[in-house]
A and B are shown apart, each in its own frame.
Chain A
């Protein structure tokens, strides 16, 4: 039996436009890695002392599939506003199963769009950008609002946590 050998030639055998494409891909890859590493340092500290810190803790925990950590920053005995369902809307087991079962291969980018804070309450509007199959745009962006209240020495999320929005 004869064995076929498929050789891919050296770079100098590749035509100029293809070499330029290769160079472009290389540059984009390096710049992409550098930009992600450099811009990742400006993230709010994930702690319970500020509303932004709580939301950061929550979103990162949901994206990592850590249901315990995410559940810990949700208000357990919030007073529901008139006309709204009691909070949290999901039971702990439902929440846990949602965090673990609805994980997507690509997590979205989440940034703080607007923050409104008073002494005891806060509302954070988040911009969530998912990878999209739309050939014209590449990403799909939507806004999600999380309400928080200051309880027991720390901030807690009182609105519907909507974990699937961040996965």
Chain B
């Protein structure tokens, strides 16, 4: 049975691909000829023959195998619930969904460009329209088939996972299109409004950004609404893929917002230090800040928005999951902020060491003053952006409930690993250049090994500081870890009870009993909470 299914759906998928490619290209060739546009193929007859053959072979093969698949599905519910069938459907939906995003973007870009007068290529609109129509028709057909299957026999296990891969993958793609398109459009609007230079050709930057944003809105909007409605919403509430998609989006937004903020501060600081063209920008500074400012606005807002979504998702589940999501978010931001801070600190030390050692080894020429000031502005900016972010998100000694979370341990070990690797590589470079200096290699006379050693030492210092600090935190966490009690229940040794609450006493207990300390609740509330214990269970409340 499985072999038959595999055969049918593999052949159907391959022949469907042939039909899709053939239809899009055959239509485009015909439209080019009708509109007297420059054909993409040197020989139009070759194109007709090639794509015609692909359709003539692919269409009957796909039609026959798909008919077989539908016939078996109508007869037998097992066939309809089969994971292989769902794999075919969601792979086709994902492929046509991505193709739809590409062609729809092209269509909107060409149409907006035509309307705004930045493009005169009318044939590209009809080509994109044809491709969009073909892909939309196939996508809708497969989407409807998947919905009919779900309504008839349900969707669980592997089938539901396949649907989530499709839904959250497209949701992520749509969100990326939406945010990058909005950022680029805001940037272009800014440039158009503040740039006083004579623009001789506006180009297609505004239509392109607009097309990316609108395509993203459609793809993201549809899948967002689809996954937010019952029964899919309830089914996916505890889905790991859903959370992973949101955390991936959050990571991207936090990174880009931090990058944009760093760039903005860098330009400001560089101008204060008298750098005319910070980072080598040739255009005016008002135009140059368009990109980082747009990045901060769009990705900063997206950051807040996704954070709210994560909180809302967690709010619908139990308290433990809420706390887990909150900790994961906090540690993720702390990690990205620490990376920014570390790069800034190491870069600052590197630049200062370069400057001091170069001045000591060679008389200053005066020509590179702007260069080192430019770098100093950049790295100070990274420190200024990274340090407060890290300090506000990182807690060295949090409550017990946070101290042993997986996300905190991931943060600690990832940071430690980064610090150790950076220290190891820089240490090797330091020793290599030291040996070069001692042995008098060809560049030793120019002082190059000393400069390289200064650079390596800068990285070693920062890596060591970060590594040592986090190693100490790991040790402190390990020391504060509750020791296992004789009854097999952990006792939080070393953890002080809140004032006025007696310290718990652990021991053999009655039948492996548990001693729980509760604060912030009245005795009546505690008794009410414990009233649901199973029959035969006893408890004692001690003040």
> Hey, what's the 0/1 contact readout for A120-146 against B, CB within 8 Å counting as 1?
000000110101000111110101000
> Hey, what's the 0/1 contact readout for A34-74 against B, CB within 8 Å counting as 1?
01110110111000000010011001100111000000000
Q: Please state if B201 and A137 are interface contacts (CB–CB under 8 Å).
A: no
Q: Please state if B182 and A25 are interface contacts (CB–CB under 8 Å).
A: yes
User: With A1-B148, A100-B38 given, is the CB distance from A138 to B198 under 8 Å?
Assistant: no
Q: Please state if A4 and B119 are interface contacts (CB–CB under 8 Å).
A: no
Q: Please state if B282 and A9 are interface contacts (CB–CB under 8 Å).
A: no
User: With A3-B144, A25-B178, A112-B198 given, is the CB distance from A8 to B225 under 8 Å?
Assistant: yes
Interface SS, B side: helix
Set of chain B residues within 8 Å of A35, measured between Cβ atoms:
188-189, 192-193, 206
The docked-state distance in angstroms from the alpha carbon of A101 to that of B226 is: 42
- B125 smallest CB distance to A (angstroms): 11
Q: Please state if B186 and A135 are interface contacts (CB–CB under 8 Å).
A: no
Q: Please state if A55 and B200 are interface contacts (CB–CB under 8 Å).
A: yes
B124 within 8 A of A: yes
Q: Please state if A135 and B256 are interface contacts (CB–CB under 8 Å).
A: yes
Q: Please state if B151 and A4 are interface contacts (CB–CB under 8 Å).
A: yes
The docked-state distance in angstroms from the alpha carbon of A60 to that of B117 is: 11
Q: Please state if A8 and B152 are interface contacts (CB–CB under 8 Å).
A: no
- A124 smallest CB distance to B (angstroms): 9
- B24 smallest CB distance to A (angstroms): 16
User: Chain A contact residues (Cβ within 8 angstroms of B): what range?
Assistant: 35 or more
The docked-state distance in angstroms from the alpha carbon of A141 to that of B279 is: 14
Interfacial residues of chain B within 105-158, with CB under 8 A of chain A in the complex: 106, 109-110, 112, 115-121, 124, 143-144, 147-148, 150-152
> Hey, what's the 0/1 contact readout for A92-123 against B, CB within 8 Å counting as 1?
00000000110101111111110000000000
- Choose among A9, A14, A107 the residue with the greatest number of B CB atoms under 10 Å from its CB: A107
B203 within 8 A of A: yes
The docked-state distance in angstroms from the alpha carbon of A83 to that of B144 is: 68
Set of chain B residues within 8 Å of A139, measured between Cβ atoms:
184, 187-188, 205, 291
> Of B117, B152, B193, which one neighbours A40 at CB under 8 angstroms?
B117
B202 within 8 A of A: yes
Q: Please state if B109 and A105 are interface contacts (CB–CB under 8 Å).
A: yes
Set of chain A residues within 8 Å of B264, measured between Cβ atoms:
none
Binds A, one of B208-216, B467-475, B477-485: B208-216
- Chain A residue with minimal CB distance to B200? A56
What are 21 A-B pairs at a CB distance below 8 A?
A17-B309, A28-B185, A33-B206, A36-B192, A37-B116, A43-B199, A44-B198, A52-B198, A59-B200, A59-B201, A65-B121, A105-B204, A107-B119, A109-B191, A110-B199, A131-B184, A135-B180, A135-B256, A138-B184, A138-B291, A141-B282
- B residues at A contact (CB < 8 Å): 38, 74, 106, 109-110, 112, 115-121, 124, 143-144, 147-148, 150-152, 178, 180, 182-189, 191-193, 195, 197-210, 213-214, 217, 221-222, 224-226, 228-229, 256, 259, 282-283, 291, 294-295, 301, 305, 308-309
